[in-house]
Amino acid sequence: MEGKRNIEEALAHSLKELVVRAPFEKITIKQIADGAGVIRVTFYNHFQDKYDLLAWIVRSEILDPVRILVSNHMYRETLVLIFSNLMRDKAFYMRAAKIEGQNSFADIVNECAFRMVMDLFRERGTSTVHSSHQWLTIENLAKYYANSMSYIILEWIRTGMTVPPEEMATIYEYIGTRSMWDMLDEF
């Protein structure tokens, strides 16, 4: 299993280096494999395509490291780590955020966030919302929270990541703990 992880990390590192130098759309699987020191077949043994690799990077480098913090109810630390990990590879994420169309970076981030939130509900043994509102399902809540987190992350990246990670965590906490009605009353 360790060898598999090493190959995946080498492929991820190769893609990240290539994305900083060239448009994502022009990067080939051969270039990624060559940069990782493997052959194309090895790439396909691990990933379906470069979008699958991009999603793996988001999951393994941004979301997986925060799971233990979330499990221990360390939400502020979770947010700071997410923004800090994104900042660590600022050049890569600023270029990746420009990937549009089918399998856009925004779609990948949103899908990864949705899966993480769904996993959190499942880990807590939550399969239904205790509400009289039929529409208010765990899946709809997960979509809502994934969309809000994705929006904050993507806008922060697209605007140059100039706000420090700690301040972004504070901003997200501020927005996340207030309803739209609360916000309207504050302005």
Span 110-126, pLDDT tens digits: 999 999 888 888 887 76
Give the type of residue at 18: L
Tokens read off for 142: 């997960």
Tokens read off for 6: 């090493």
The Cα–Cα gap between 118 and 143 comes to 9
Find out whether 24 and 95 touch, Cβ atoms under 8 Å. yes
Tokens read off for 137: 């399902």
Question: How do residues 72-98 score in pLDDT, each as one tens digit?
Answer: 889 899 999 999 999 999 999 999 999
HSE of 90, CA atoms in CB hemisphere, 13 A: 11
Reported as a pLDDT band with limits 50, 70 and 90, residue 20 is very high
Tokens read off for 114: 């949705």
Domains of the chain: 1-47 (1.10.10.60), 49-186 (1.10.357.10)
**Whole-structure pTM value:** 0.88
The Cα–Cα gap between 164 and 157 comes to 11
Question: How do residues 128-145 score in pLDDT, each as one tens digit?
Answer: 666 677 788 889 999 999
